[in-house]
C-alpha cells in the first residue's frame, strides 16, 4: 500500500519536468561563474523539480472535489453584487479620466465615424461602426467608456455566477470578483478608448460561452438562443481586431474535434454562418460604405518590413535587384539603423528632420508593388532564417518573458483631449500632466517599472494560467477542458506569430480571462459524472 501511495504518475512527472525547465527561462536565473554559486543554483533547480513533482503527484491523485466551505447565495444577488462592485470601482477611473483615455487609434476612428475622413479598415471598420451605433445615444466619447464599463462589469457578474453554479467555492468566486474590480490594469483599460478593449471584452464573452459548452457536455449548442449568442460573440471576436479570425475559427475547430459525434451540425452551421457574414460584411457592405482597403496593404506589410529590417540589420544576404526595389519603399540605411526587434514603430512611423515619413506608404498601396514586395520578402526570409529567428526571440518577449529591462507600452499617456475630436488636434499637455493627483498616482502605479511585471506584464498571467490549467488537467481527466483554453492559446499564437510591438493591450485578452481559468481549478464539476449546465436562477 505504501508503494501505491507514493507511486509517481507519468503525467505528474511530465508536467513537473516541463515547469522545472520553463520557470528558469521566463524569470530568468542569472548563472554565476563561481563554483559555489553554481552548485547552489543547480541545487535550487533540483529542489524546484522535487517540489513540482510533489505538488503534481499529490494533485493528480486527488480525484475528489476540493474540500471548501460551501455558502449558498442566490445567483441573482451574486451577479448584482459582482456587477456593482466592478461598476463602482471602474466608474471612479471613468470620473478621474473623463471622458475616457483617448488614444490616437480612437482619434482616427472618431473622425472616420464623423465623416471627416474616409472610412478605412486599417482600424477595423466593424469597430468603427459599433462606435457610430453607440454614439447615436450620446455624441460623446464618454458613451463608449460607459458601454465598456457596463459590458465588462456584466461579464464579470456572469462569470461569477457560472463558476459558483459549477462547483467553485464562493470564497474563490469572491476573491476573483475583487481581483477583477481592484486590479489597476482593468480599471485603466475599462476606460481606455481603443479597439483592443472591445476585442478583449468579446474574447472574454467567448470564453464564458465556451465555459457553458463544456459544462453542458456540448448539449447547449443545440439551443437556438445559445447559437445566436455564440454567433454574435464569434462575429465580434473575428471583426473587432484583424487577428481575431484565428481565435474565432480556431475555437470552432476545437469544438468540432471534441463534439464531432454529438454536435457537429450546429458547430458546422456556426462556421458557415460566420464565414458568410464576414464575406458579406467585407464585400458588399464595404463596397456600399466605400471603405478604403488599400491602406491595409501598409498594415499587412508591418511584419515583412520588420523581417527585412532584421536581415539588413544583421548584414544578411539580399540580391542587388531586391535592394533597389526595397530602397523605393524606404532608404536602406534607415531600414538598417531604425530596426528594433521589440517595436515596428520606428520603421513604420519614423520621419526625417523635415517631418517626411521614411516609409513610402503610397508605393505599397499600389497592388502590383505590394505583390512584388511580398515576393521579395519571401525570398529574403527563406535565404536568411537566422536573423528572423532572432527577431522572434526578442519580439515575442511580451508573451514569454516576465522580467525585462525596458518598460512596455501600457496606457495611452497622450496629449489628446475631447476637444480635439471636434476641432482637430493641437499640441497640449499629456494626460498625466492634467488629470490631478489621483490620476497621476494611478498612472505612476501602472507604469512603475519595479512593480509593472505584476500590474501589466502579460507573460506573468499567461504562464500563471498555463500553470493552473496544467494542474487542472491532472484533476479533471476531461479532454473538453481544451475548449475553454483554446481562445487563450490561439490568442497567444497570434501574439507570437505577429510580434510587432511590446504593447500590453495585445495581452489584455489573456490577462482578462486569467482569473476565470485559475478559478476553474477549484471546480468539483469537472470530475463529476454529471457535468451539466445549470441555468441561472
pLDDT digits (tens, 9 = 90+) for 119-171: 999 999 999 999 999 999 999 999 999 999 999 999 999 999 999 988 888 99
Q: Rounded to whole angstroms, how far apart are CA atoms 182 and 176? A: 10
Cα–Cα distance measured from residue 363 to residue 360, given in angstroms and rounded to the nearest whole number: 6
Tell me the pLDDT band of 472, cut-offs 50, 70 and 90: confident
Between CA 165 and CA 134 the distance in angstroms is 33
CB atoms near residue 414 (< 10 Å):
18
209, 233 Cβ separation under 8 angstroms: yes
Give which of 476, 483, 489, 477 is closest to 521, Cα–Cα: 476
pLDDT band at 416 (very low <50, low <70, confident <90, very high): confident
Query: Of residues 534 and 480, which shows the higher confidence score?
Result: 480
Q: Do 283 and 432 lie in a common domain?
A: yes
Q: What's the mean pLDDT when you consider all of the chain?
A: 87
| pLDDT for residue 335 is more than 60 | yes
Whether 446 maps to a domain, the answer reads: yes
Q: Which residues contact 222 (CB under 8 A, 6 or more apart)?
A: 263, 266
Angle at 164 between CA 258 and CA 152, to 5 degrees: 85
Please return the burial class of 30, using the count of CB atoms within 10 Å of its CB with bins 0-12, 13-18 and 19+: exposed
Is residue 258 assigned to a domain? yes
The rounded radius of gyration (Å) of the Cα atoms in the chain is 25
Helix (H, G, I), strand (E, B) or coil at 165: helix
**Same domain as 434, residue 367:** no
> Residue 357: phi, psi to the nearest 5?
-65, 140
Q: Is the dihedral of CA 416, 419, 422, 427 positive or negative?
A: negative
Record the cell numbers describing residue 238, joined without a space: 473575428
Distance CA 496, CA 248 (A): 17
One domain for residues 56 and 79: no
* DSSP count for the chain of H helices, then E strands: 30, 2
Q: How many CA atoms within 13 Å lie on the side-chain side of 270?
A: 30
**Other beta carbons less than 10 A from residue 454's beta carbon:** 14
pLDDT of 528 higher than 50:
no
- Of 400, 430, 458, the last residue of a domain is 400
Q: Is 335 domain-assigned?
A: yes
Check whether 48 has a pLDDT greater than 70: yes
239 and 374 co-located in one domain: no
Q: What is the DSSP annotation of 272-298?
A: HHHHHHHHHIIIIIHHHHT-B-THHHH
Give the structural domain span for 263: 75-293+419-520
Domains contained in the chain, number: 3
Answer yes or no: is pLDDT of 192 > 50: yes
The angle that helices 245-258 and 224-240 make with each other, rounded to 10 degrees, is: 140
Is residue 170 located within the same domain as residue 262? yes
Strands 101-102 and 192-193: parallel
345 occurs within a structural domain: yes
Domain-embedded: residue 69: no
pLDDT digits (tens, 9 = 90+) for 161-180: 999 988 888 999 999 999 99
Task: In whole angstroms, give the CA distance from residue 318 to residue 248.
Answer: 37
Q: 409 by DSSP, 3-state: which?
A: strand
Q: Residues 287, 305: one domain?
A: no
| pLDDT tens sequence across 223-261 | 999 999 999 999 999 999 999 999 999 999 999 999 988
25 found inside a domain: yes
| 370 alpha-carbon distance from chain centroid | 29
Query: How many angstroms separate the CA atoms of 380 and 304, rounded?
Result: 10
Give CA–CA dist 84/67, Å, rounded: 29
More confidently predicted of 309 and 431: 309
Domain contains 89:
yes
Q: Do 251 and 198 share a structural domain?
A: yes
For residues 225-254, one letter each, b for 16 or more C-beta atoms within 10 angstroms of the residue's C-beta and e for the rest, the string is ebbeebeebbbbbbbbbbbbbbbbbbbbeb
Confidence at residue 72, expressed as pLDDT on a 0 to 100 scale: 57
270-279, 473-482, 495-504: which is most confident = 270-279
7 and 57, same domain (yes or no): yes
Neighbours of 469 (CB within 10 A): 20
Whether 535 has a pLDDT exceeding 50, the answer reads no
What percent of the chain has a predicted confidence (pLDDT) above 70?
90
The answer to pTM > 0.85 is yes
Q: Are 319 and 235 members of one domain?
A: no
Distance CA 217, CA 418 (A): 48
Within this chain, do residues 392 and 488 fall inside the same structural domain, yes or no? no
Please tell me whether residues 137 and 278 are part of one structural domain.
Answer: yes
Tens digit of each residue's pLDDT (9 = 90 or more) over 61-115: 655 443 344 445 568 899 999 999 999 999 999 999 999 999 999 999 999 999 8
Reduced to 3 states (helix: H, G, I; strand: E, B; else coil), residue 102 is strand
- Ranges of H-type helices in 183-244: 184-190, 195-215, 224-240
User: Which residue bears the cell 464575406?
Assistant: 279
What pLDDT does residue 11 have?
A: 75
Please indicate, yes or no, whether residues 374 and 240 belong to a single structural domain of this protein. no
Cis peptide before 511 (omega within 30 of 0): no
Amino acid at each position: 500500500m505504501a508503494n501505491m501511495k507514493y507511486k509517481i504518475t507519468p503525467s505528474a512527472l511530465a508536467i513537473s519536468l516541463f515547469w522545472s525547465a520553463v520557470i528558469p527561462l521566463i524569470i530568468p536565473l542569472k548563472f554565476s561563474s563561481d563554483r559555489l554559486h553554481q552548485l547552489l543554483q543547480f541545487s535550487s533547480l533540483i529542489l524546484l523539480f522535487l517540489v513540482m513533482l510533489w505538488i503534481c503527484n499529490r494533485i493528480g491523485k486527488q480525484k475528489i472535489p476540493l474540500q471548501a466551505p460551501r455558502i449558498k447565495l442566490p445567483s441573482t444577488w451574486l451577479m448584482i453584487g459582482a456587477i456593482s462592485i466592478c461598476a463602482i470601482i471602474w466608474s471612479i477611473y471613468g470620473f478621474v479620466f473623463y471622458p475616457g483615455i483617448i488614444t490616437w487609434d480612437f482619434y482616427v476612428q472618431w473622425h472616420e465615424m464623423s465623416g471627416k475622413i474616409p472610412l478605412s479598415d486599417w482600424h477595423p471598420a466593424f469597430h468603427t461602426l459599433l462606435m457610430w451605433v453607440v454614439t447615436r445615444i450620446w455624441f460623446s466619447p464618454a458613451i463608449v467608456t460607459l458601454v465598456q464599463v457596463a459590458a465588462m462589469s456584466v461579464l464579470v457578474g456572469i462569470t461569477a455566477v457560472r463558476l459558483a453554479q459549477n462547483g467553485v467555492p464562493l470564497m474563490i468566486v469572491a476573491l476573483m470578483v475583487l481581483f477583477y474590480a481592484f486590479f489597476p490594469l482593468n480599471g485603466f483599460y475599462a476606460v481606455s478608448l481603443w479597439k483592443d478593449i472591445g476585442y478583449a471584452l468579446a474574447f472574454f464573452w467567448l470564453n464564458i460561452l465556451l465555459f457553458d459548452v463544456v459544462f453542458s457536455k456540448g448539449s447547449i449548442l443545440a439551443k437556438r438562443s445559445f447559437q445566436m449568442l455564440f454567433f454574435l460573440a464569434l462575429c465580434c471576436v473575428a471583426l473587432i481586431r484583424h487577428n481575431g479570425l484565428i481565435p474565432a475559427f480556431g475555437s470552432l475547430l476545437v469544438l468540432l474535434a471534441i463534439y464531432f459525434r454529438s454536435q457537429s451540425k450546429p458547430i458546422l452551421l456556426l462556421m458557415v454562418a460566420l464565414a458568410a457574414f464576414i464575406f458579406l460584411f467585407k464585400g458588399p457592405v464595404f463596397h456600399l460604405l466605400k471603405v478604403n482597403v488599400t491602406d491595409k496593404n501598409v498594415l499587412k506589410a508591418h511584419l515583412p518590413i520588420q523581417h527585412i529590417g532584421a536581415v539588413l540589420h544583421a548584414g544578411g544576404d539580399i540580391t542587388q535587384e531586391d535592394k533597389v526595389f526595397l530602397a523605393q519603399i524606404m532608404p536602406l540605411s534607415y531600414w538598417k539603423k531604425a530596426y528594433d526587434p521589440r517595436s515596428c514603430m520606428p520603421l513604420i512611423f519614423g520621419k526625417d528632420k523635415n517631418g517626411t515619413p521614411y516609409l513610402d506608404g503610397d508605393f505599397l498601396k499600389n497592388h502590383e508593388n505590394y505583390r512584388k514586395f511580398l515576393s521579395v520578402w519571401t525570398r529574403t526570409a527563406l535565404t536568411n532564417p537566422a536573423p528572423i529567428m532572432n527577431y522572434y526571440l526578442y519580439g515575442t518577449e511580451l508573451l514569454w518573458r516576465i522580467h525585462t529591462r525596458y518598460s512596455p507600452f501600457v496606457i495611452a499617456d497622450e496629449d489628446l483631449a475631447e476637444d480635439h475630436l471636434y476641432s482637430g488636434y493641437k499640441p497640449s499637455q499629456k494626460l498625466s500632466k492634467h488629470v490631478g493627483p489621483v490620476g497621476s498616482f494611478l498612472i505612476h502605479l501602472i507604469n512603475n517599472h519595479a512593480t509593472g511585471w505584476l500590474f501589466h506584464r502579460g507573460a506573468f498571467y499567461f504562464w500563471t494560467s498555463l500553470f493552473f490549467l496544467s494542474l487542472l488537467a491532472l484533476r479533471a481527466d476531461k479532454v473538453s477542458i481544451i475548449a475553454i483554453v483554446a481562445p487563450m492559446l490561439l490568442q497567444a499564437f497570434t501574439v507570437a506569430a505577429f510580434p510587432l510591438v511590446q504593447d500590453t493591450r495585445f495581452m489584455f485578452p489573456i490577462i482578462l480571462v486569467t482569473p476565470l481559468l485559475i478559478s476553474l481549478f477549484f471546480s468539483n464539476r469537472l470530475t463529476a459524472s454529471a457535468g451539466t449546465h445549470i441555468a441561472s436562477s
